[in-house]
Each structure stands twice: as structure tokens, then as C-alpha cells.
Amino acid sequence: RKEVEQDPGPFNVPEGATVAFNCTYSNSASQSFFWYRQDCRKEPKLLMSVYSSGNEDGRFTAQLNRASQYISLLIRDSKLSDSATYLCVVHPRGKLIFGQGTTLQVKP
Amino acid sequence: NAGVMQNPRHLVRRRGQEARLRCSPMKGHSHVYWYRQLPEEGLKFMVYLQKENIIDESGMPKERFSAEFPKEGPSILRIQQVVRGDSAAYFCASSQTGQNTEAFFGQGTRLTVV
């Protein structure tokens, strides 16, 4: 079983749609969690940290369910510029572990 | 405040040569991570270092690959006797501490072995 699993997609949605990604992780000792975004094989860029209480940043909402060991990312009112690969990252002590990524394509 | 700096951005090596990839972390960051990304694949962890220490090298191939993060200067990922299969993007990230803090990535080094 992979340490971090994501549905690779692609998710094809129209502009303005709401889309949600989930990610599951296997290491229950994981302490911190993040969502990164990667465009066209460029470097991953931090999108947001994921807190136990959930957090929101504009159109983006991240949630953590420790009991079920999954993390989610919700994007509201999708923009064309949101098209990218979204990477779920789990951080037990030490290394950052990346999921395979979920590809989002927002269509006009 | 410069971000994570990697150089070179592109590196071409012939089979059998050595490749040296450099990573200067963000100011104030003492933790460095190296990742490899093959075409159409995800990021694969290679090694996690602190100043002068290798903390976790579980993702490093056993042969030809080595990494260091000296007290002074950048972190170096070294690949000896490169083969075509080493062609990939190599990304470095840095963080302030080893847990509960965000990590930031450099622009990567694209290694092509011909």
C-alpha cells in the first residue's frame, strides 16, 4: 500500500464549478499535512497547510480527518488558472511524503 | 529574501560522467530534502539532510548516488557514472525545522544523460 494515495484524475470541470480532491495516508503518526500545486513539471508550490480544525484560504478549503486518515481539498468557483496537478503531502517525522498528484483541468 | 536556489537549471551529461547538483536553502533553513521526478511520474523522495548530517536516505539508490550538506555552502547531490535512466528533474526543498513547518522548493535541475 502506498504511503499517500490520491486519485490521479484527470478531473475535467467547467469554470465556476466546485471540485473536491481526497487523499489517504497510511502512517498514523503523521503530524503535519499540506497541499502543493505543480504546474507543467515546474517546482511544486505550497498551496496551504492542513490543520486539524480545517482551514480556508479564499476559494480553497482544506480538511483533515485523523480518524479515517484522509485529507481533502475543496476548490470553489474554479478558474482556468486553477488547472494544475494538486499534490497531497504528509509529514511524519523527517521526510515529506508526496502523493502521486491529482490533475485538474478547468475548461471555459 | 531569496528562495531556494538550485543550479544548474539544466545539465547534460554523457553516460559514465558525473553529475553534481547544488541546492542553497532559503535563509534560516537548515533542513534540505531532495526529490526526483521522472517524466509522467510523481515526486520520489531521495534524501533528507540537516547541516552536516544525513537524517534519512531511504530513497537513495544504493550505488552511484550520494548527498551532503556541509556546514558551509550548498547541499550537493552527486551522481557518479550516470546512465540514461538517471535523466529526470531533481528538486530540492528546504524547511526551517524537520517537522510541522512548510517546505519550499527550488526550480529544479533537469538532468539529461545522452
pLDDT digits (tens, 9 = 90+) for A17-69: 999 999 999 988 888 899 999 998 799 999 999 988 889 999 999 999 999 99
Closest CA of chain A from B96, distance in Å: 12
Q: What does the pLDDT read at residue B48? A: 95
Q: What does the pLDDT read at residue B93? A: 96
* pLDDT of residue A9 exceeding 90: no
* pLDDT of residue B100 exceeding 80: no
Q: What does the pLDDT read at residue B65? A: 98
Q: Which of A41, A42, A97 has the CB atom closest to B45's CB atom?
A: A97
Q: What does the pLDDT read at residue A28? A: 81
Phi/psi for A97 (5° steps) reads: -110, 125
User: SS3 of B89, please?
Assistant: strand
The grid coordinates listed for A35 are 497541499
Q: What does the H/E/C string look like for chain B? A: CCCCEEECCEEEECCCCCEEEEEECCCCCCEEEEEEECCCCCEEEEEEEECCEEEECCCCCCCCEEEECCCCCCEEEEECCCCHHHCEEEEEEEECCCCCCCEEECCCEEEEEC
* pLDDT of residue B15 exceeding 70: yes
Task: Tell me how far apart the alpha carbons of residues B106 and B90 are, in angstroms, rounded to a whole number.
Answer: 9
As a whole number, the mean pLDDT across chain B is 94
Q: What does the pLDDT read at residue A1? A: 73
In chain A, what residues touch B35 (CB-CB under 8 Å)? 98
Q: Give one DSSP letter per residue of A86-108, joined into a string.
A: EEEEEE-SSS-EE---EEEEEE-
Q: Tens digits of per-residue pLDDT, B33-73?
A: 999 999 888 899 999 999 989 999 999 999 999 999 999 99
Which residue in chain A has the smallest CA separation from B101? A32
Check if B108 contacts A (Cβ < 8 Å).
yes
* pLDDT of residue B4 exceeding 60: yes
B1 confidence band (pLDDT: 50, 70, 90): low
